Structure 1
Amino acid sequence: MEHRHKTSPSRKKFKVVASARKVLFTFFWDMERVVHMEFLDQGQTVNYERYISTLRSLKLSFGRLRSDKDSILQHDNARPHTSRQTQDALRKLERTTLPHPAYSLGLAPSDYYLFRQLKKYLKVHHYDNDEEVIADVRRWCSGRSSEFFADGVRQLVKR
């Protein structure tokens, strides 16, 4: 707050750089690699229909990468993830689902491990458009070793 005389001109605020847009993506990973990743178009939101579509794509990715059905799927408790329709789709996916305690953001492995590392990497780069961000995120993910992903799962067990 600053004290000024009534007749003093108001301060002008200049925007030096346009605000960065956000790129939203859905991401599934296991102890070895990224299993499935989808980027949302600008303005698109995640509702249960969109999430069910993602789960169908995930099932195809599982089919290509894993023959076993011993995978455990953990996701947070956002509304699109907990709807009745989503729960039905998860049963059709035929994967065990690890329940996520209410409001326990510290348990989501992507939040405390993977996204923290990705944010550190992206922070020092400048992108002109969404396609560059998406390409760099894909490149970063494919450059992680299986040990990187295994460490994230091990840390979840500790938490």
Structure 2
Amino acid sequence: MTNNWCCRYLHLCKGYVLCTWTQAIKTLRYLAMFKKRLCMQSNKMQWLQRYGWEILPHPAHSPDLAPSDFHLFGPWKRHLGGMAFDTEDDLISELRNWFDNLDVDFFRVGINSLLSRWQKCIDLHGDYVEK
């Protein structure tokens, strides 16, 4: 994924956020896909700052899961397991289809469990938190 491609995609997502709540939910789904790969080169950071998007802090080489990992990427990996894609567009098409077919409750449950996991982490003074 190139830096320019990522910025173009973020710009596209910004348009979705301005449209409707349903599209905003879908946009957040797509952004989760890029969270780990967003290597914060200067024009990406400038783009995010210009549009007021916040990236949650997470140590670069932490053994813990990033906040977006624990709920989304397990099912995502299971869905994509064994698949092969000839082009980046094929992969993106498959991911969009997967995101479009997710139930809205999938993310409600994920967000609710994120809050409880963060609280557990606070209560354990930063120690590892199991599901």
1:63-74 matches, within 5 Å, as 63-66=18-21
Q: Which has the higher strand share?
A: 1
The 8 Å contact of residues 48 and 83 in structure 1, kept in 2 or not, is answered as: yes
Structure-1 residue corresponding to 2:65: 106
The amino acid that maps onto 2:53 is R
Letter in 2 for 1:146: V
Aligned-pair CA distance for 1:100: 2.5
Higher helix share: 2
User: Which residue is equivalent to 2:17?
Assistant: 62
* Number of aligned positions between the proteins: 105
Query: 1:102 Cα shift?
Result: 2.1
Length-normalised TM-score, structure 2? 0.58
Alignment-mate amino acid for residue 99 of structure 1: P
Show structure 1 runs of 5+ residues with no match.
Answer: 1-45, 67-71
Deviation at 1:64, TM superposition (A): 1.5
On the 8 A contact 1:55/1:93 being kept in 2, the answer is no
Give the structure, 1 or 2, with the largest relative contact order (CA under 8 Å, sep 6 or more): 1
Distance in 2 of aligned mates of 1:54 and 1:136: 16
Deviation at 1:128, TM superposition (A): 8.7
Contact kept in structure 2, 1:113 and 1:152, CA below 8 Å: yes
Equivalent in the alignment of 1:149: 107
- Taking structure 1 as the reference length, the TM-score comes to 0.50
1:107 partner letter = A
Q: Distance in 1 between matches of 2:78 and 2:66?
A: 20
**Any residues of structure 2 matched to 1:109-148 within 5 Å, and which?**
109=68, 111-123=69-81, 136-148=94-106
The question of whether the paired residues in 2 share the 8 Å contact of 1:52 and 1:89 is answered with yes
CA 1:106 to 1:64, structure 2 compared with 1: closer, same or farther past 3 Å? same
Moved more, 128-137 or 54-63: 128-137
Q: What is the percentage of aligned positions where both structures have the same residue?
A: 21
Cα deviations by residue, 1:104-156 (Å, 9 ceiling, x for unpaired): 350242x3322211332344x76796677655543332222211112222333
- Over the residues paired in the alignment, what is the CA RMSD in angstroms? 3.3
Work out which of the two has the higher radius of gyration on C-alpha atoms and give 1 or 2: 1
